[in-house]
C-alpha cells in the first residue's frame, strides 16, 4: 500500500508555506502486514479533496498555495499533526490511491477492509460535529437522519467495524471518544452490535441479511459503491466495473453465494440497497 510519510509531509508543508524549494518525496510503498501506520476515516468534501497526482507534485503546482487551504488538504495536515511522534506513516483514501489506474483502484477496494483492520489507529474525523452525538438532531444534521454525516455514508461502515483502535475527532480535531468507550451510543446510531464494535468480526460472523440491515440507510455517491463498499464485510473479492450500475449488487450476491451457504441472502430485504 502507498503511505504518507508523516514527518516528510509536515516538513514539505512548512517549506511550501515559506516559499522554499522542496523536492521531498512524501509517499512510500509499504507492506501493510509489516508496517505500523494510522489511517484516516472521513466524509469526502466535493471539489475540496486532494488527489494522488496533486499531492505528489504539490510543490510544483501553480495553485499550490490555494490547495494548502482546501478542506481536504487540511484534513491530511491535521491527521499528520496528530500522528506525529506516534506513527511514521498515515493512509488516506483521497491521495494514497492513484485513481487514474483502474487496476490500482480495484486492488485498493478489495484490500481496504484489511488495510483498516491492520491499522494501529484509525482517526475518524466528524467534520460537522463539536461533540460526540448522543441524540438525533435533525436541525444540525438535516440530510443524514439526524446524525453526523459520517454515520450515513456507505464506505464508513467497514471503516467503523474493521479497525481495532478507532478514535473520533470533532471539527476542530479535538479527540471526543473512541469506538470501545462509545460502543453503546454507536450501536444506537448504526445498529451494529456492541460485540462487533468491540471485537470486530473475529468472534462474530454476521449473516448477509445482517450486513444489509447495517447498510440499509447508508448512501454512496456512485450506485456501484453500494455493493463495492460491502465486499470486505462479506469476505468477497471481485473486480470493479464502474459503469455497471445496479449489476454490481447482483455480482456481489453471486460472489457471496459461491463461497457461502447463508440462506439469509434470499430474504426479501436483501434484494438490493434502498433507493436514494
Q: What is the DSSP letter of 275?
A: P
Distances (CA, A) of 203 to 195, 196, 246, 253: 8, 8, 32, 23
| CA dist., res. 224 & res. 241, Å (int) | 8
Residue 275 has pLDDT above 50, yes or no: no
| CA dist., res. 216 & res. 192, Å (int) | 12
Comparison of pLDDT for 73 and 205, the residue scoring more: 73
Q: What is the pLDDT at residue 270?
A: 57
Q: What is the pLDDT at residue 214?
A: 96
Percent of the chain clearing pLDDT 90 (strictly above): 86
Beta sheet of 2-5, edge-to-edge order: 27-29, 2-5, 89-91, 37-41, 121-125, 166-169, 175-178
User: Within 10 Å of residue 267's Cβ, how many Cβ atoms?
Assistant: 13
Residue 272 has pLDDT above 60, yes or no: no
Residue 276 has pLDDT above 70, yes or no: no
Q: 55 near 12, Cβ under 8 Å?
A: no
Q: What is the pLDDT at residue 262?
A: 87
Q: What is the pLDDT at residue 23?
A: 87
| CA dist., res. 79 & res. 173, Å (int) | 8
Q: What is the pLDDT at residue 185?
A: 97
Find where cell 506513527 sits.
Answer: 87
Q: What is the pLDDT at residue 19?
A: 85
Q: What is the pLDDT at residue 15?
A: 94
Query: Tens digit of pLDDT for each residue in 172-197?
Result: 999 999 999 999 999 999 999 999 99
Average the pLDDT over 26-35 and give the result: 98
Q: What is the DSSP letter of 3?
A: E
Average the pLDDT over 51-71 and give the result: 94
| CA dist., res. 84 & res. 125, Å (int) | 17
Average pLDDT over the chain, rounded to an integer: 93
Query: Tens digit of pLDDT for each residue in 140-178?
Result: 999 899 999 999 999 999 999 999 999 999 999 999 999
Q: What is the pLDDT at residue 46?
A: 87
Amino acid at each position: 500500500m502507498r503511505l504518507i510519510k508523516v514527518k516528510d509531509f509536515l516538513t514539505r508543508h512548512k517549506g511550501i508555506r515559506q516559499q522554499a524549494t522542496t523536492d521531498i518525496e512524501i509517499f512510500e510503498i509499504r507492506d501493510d502486514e509489516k508496517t505500523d501506520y494510522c489511517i484516516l476515516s472521513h466524509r469526502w468534501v466535493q471539489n475540496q479533496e486532494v488527489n494522488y497526482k496533486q499531492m505528489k507534485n504539490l510543490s510544483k503546482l501553480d495553485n499550490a498555495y490555494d490547495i494548502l487551504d482546501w478542506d481536504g488538504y487540511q484534513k491530511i495536515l491535521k491527521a499528520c499533526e496528530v500522528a506525529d511522534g506516534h506513527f511514521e506513516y498515515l493512509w488516506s483514501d483521497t491521495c494514497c490511491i492513484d485513481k487514474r489506474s483502474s487496476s490500482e483502484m480495484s486492488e485498493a477496494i478489495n484490500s481496504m477492509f484489511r488495510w483498516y483492520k491492520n491499522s494501529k489507529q484509525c482517526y475518524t474525523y466528524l467534520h460537522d460535529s463539536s461533540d460526540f452525538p448522543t441524540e438525533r438532531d435533525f436541525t444540525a444534521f438535516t440530510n443524514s437522519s439526524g446524525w453526523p454525516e459520517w454515520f450515513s455514508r456507505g464506505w464508513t461502515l467497514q471503516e467503523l467495524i474493521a479497525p481495532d483502535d478507532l478514535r473520533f475527532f470533532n471539527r476542530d480535531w479535538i479527540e471526543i471518544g473512541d469506538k470501545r468507550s462509545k460502543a453503546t451510543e454507536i450501536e444506537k446510531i448504526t445498529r451494529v452490535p456492541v460485540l462487533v464494535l468491540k471485537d470486530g468480526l473475529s468472534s462474530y460472523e454476521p449473516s448477509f441479511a445482517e450486513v444489509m440491515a447495517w447498510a440499509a440507510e447508508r448512501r454512496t455517491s456512485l450506485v456501484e459503491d453500494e455493493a463495492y463498499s460491502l465486499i470486505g464485510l462479506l469476505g468477497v473479492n471481485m473486480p470493479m466495473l464502474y459503469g455497471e450500475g445496479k449489476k454490481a449488487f447482483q455480482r456481489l450476491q453471486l460472489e457471496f453465494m459461491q463461497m457461502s451457504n447463508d440462506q439469509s441472502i434470499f430474504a426479501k430485504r436483501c434484494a438490493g440497497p434502498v433507493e436514494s
